[in-house]
Structure 1
């Protein structure tokens, strides 16, 4: 079962905002995450697939069938919303069984199916409880079970973990992945949390101003971002304006760096990109003759538990690094292979 957007565009009436020329495909058992800033079009893409909005142009296809004109209930898609939308007056099994009830399934059969789903999300003994008796994470599990109980053709997750505290989010994103893999279902996840997307998605889509900026695996987006905006949004980054100063050399505000200049001609403008964890700390004397070594002082030192995130003030600006070292740092080295050249920012 595949979910596909074929050059889909939608503009909100009376505005210039929406999504434009969206081309995506989610295969059976695949989890695709969409990330981007607020207003970038993430939720609009989900609403178009769910049937809450109808595209102006292009096609929405489920298993090859154009469903652009179909009502939401005819699309057989399970949806988990940010607020879970559980019925407070219904017991848990009744909440889960509700999609079966509206489809005319007999009470005994839908109860049996709901009990089975409760077991799959680790809550088999809570069938007679009510939503108010549950924690936020438990309510999220019930919402997930309800979305899957009628064996949908796809699963849509709209910021499903944003209401949970940080520790519970880690637990529940693993739970979502486990249940999704077990069901083998095509899944679309909309999230503002880039760590969440990187940790569980097979592919990640980066949106900006209603358009797709980059599609790739989590590793591709993190290590080879398409431009500076992707690099800045996905994780921590050092980003400096630069220009090619020779074969294998680029000049930046922090100094000259040796790197693969990809055959670019002298004077070409670029953005120089380095992840902080690739910057190597120096705790002793700094070899100033090395073009990738910089003496400096710590202008900011943030303790994050497993690592420290440090800003090193150097002669031409600042270099950010992440390290597990606990002592004083006198400088940094930027390895040749840690440097990526991106298009210049406008």
Structure 2
């Protein structure tokens, strides 16, 4: 079962915002996450697939069939919202069984299926409780069970964990992945949490102003972003404007860096990109005489438990680094293989 967008466009009435020329495919058993700034169009992508809004052009296909004109209930998609939307007066099994009830399934059958699904999400011992007796994470499990109980053709997750505290979000994202893998269902996740997207998605989409900027495996997005926007948006980064000075050498505001320059000519303008964790602390002065070696002073030192995030002020700007070391860091080295060259801004 696949979910597919083909050159889909949608503009909100009376506005210039929407999504433009969207082409995506989510394969059976695949989890695709969409991230982007507020207003980038990520929720609109989900609404189009769910049928809450209809595309102005292009096609939306479920298992190869165009569903662009079908109403939401005819698309057989399970949806989990941010607010869970459980009925407070219904017992848990009744909440989970509700999609079966509206489809005309007999009471005994729908109860049996609801109890089974609650067991799959770890709530089998709470079937007769009311939602008000549950924690946020438990309510999320029930909402997930309800979305899957009628064997949908796809699963749509709209910011499903944003209302939970940080520790519970980690637990629940692992639970969502476990259930999704067990069901083998094509899944679309919309989230503002990059760690959530990178940790559980097979592919991640970065959106900006209604357009797809990059699609790839989490590691590809993190290590080889297509441009400075993606590099800055996904994780922490150092970005400097630079110019190719020689074969294997780029000049930046903070000084020269050794790197792979193949395919570029002397004088070409580039954006230089380095992840903070790739920068190596050096104990004792480097002397600053070689490319990629810098001495400076600590401008900011943020303790984050397992790591420190340091801003090192050097001649010409700042170098951001992350380290587990506790000693003072005033000198660093940037290895050539840590440097990526991106298109100039």
Shorter-chain TM-score above 0.5: yes
Distance in 2 between residues matched to 1:329 and 1:20, nearest whole Å: 46
Name the CA distance, whole Å, in 2 between partners of 1:319 and 1:279: 9
Question: Do structure 1's residue 135 and structure 2's residue 135 form an aligned pair?
Answer: yes
Distance 2:234 2:285 in 1: 33
Q: Tell me which stretches of 4 or more aligned residues in structure 1 moved more than 2 Å.
A: none
**Partner of residue 80, structure 1:** 80
Partner of 1:335: 335
Task: Give, in whole Å, the separation in 2 of the partners of 1:288 and 1:185.
Answer: 54
CA deviation vs aligned residue, 1:246-282 (integer Å, no higher than 9, x gap): 1111111111111111231111111100000000001
2:303 aligned partner: 303
Asked if residue 46 in structure 1 is aligned to residue 46 in structure 2, the reply is yes
Residue in 2 that maps onto 1:272: 272
Q: Could you say what secondary structure the match of 1:195 adopts?
A: helix
Q: Is the 8 A contact 1:292 1:334 kept in 2?
A: yes
User: Secondary structure of the residue that 1:320 maps to in structure 2?
Assistant: strand
Q: Note if contact 1:247-1:263 (Cα within 8 Å) is conserved in structure 2.
A: no
Give the superposition deviation at 1:316.
1.3
Aligned residue in 2 for 1:24: 24
3-state SS, counterpart of residue 38 of structure 2: coil
Show structure 1 runs of 5+ residues with no match: none
What does 1:57-76 correspond to in 2, within 5 Å?
57-76=57-76
Q: Is the 8 A contact 1:242 1:271 kept in 2?
A: yes
3-state SS of 1:70 partner: coil
Alpha-carbon distance in 1 for matches of 2:166, 2:197: 15
Match of 1:108 in 2: 108
Distance 1:176 1:81 in 2: 13
Query: Equivalent residue for 2:220?
Result: 220
What is the CA-CA distance between 1:320 and the residue it aligns to?
0.5
TM-score normalised by structure 1 residue count: 0.99
**Does 1:182 pair with 2:169?**
no
Instruction: Output the CA distance in 1 between the equivalents of 2:221 and 2:109.
Output: 45
> What is the rounded CA distance, in whole Å, between the counterparts of 1:328 and 1:21 in structure 2?
50
Identify the residue that residue 251 of structure 2 maps to in structure 1.
Answer: 251
How many residues are paired up? 345
Query: What do the CA deviations read for 1:166-202 (whole angstroms, capped 9, x no partner)?
Result: 0000000000000000000000000011111000000
Cα RMSD over matched residues? 0.7
Paired position in structure 1 for 2:284: 284
Aligned to 1:121: 121
Query: Once the 2 structures are TM-superposed, how far is the Cα of residue 289 of structure 1 from its aligned partner?
Result: 2.3
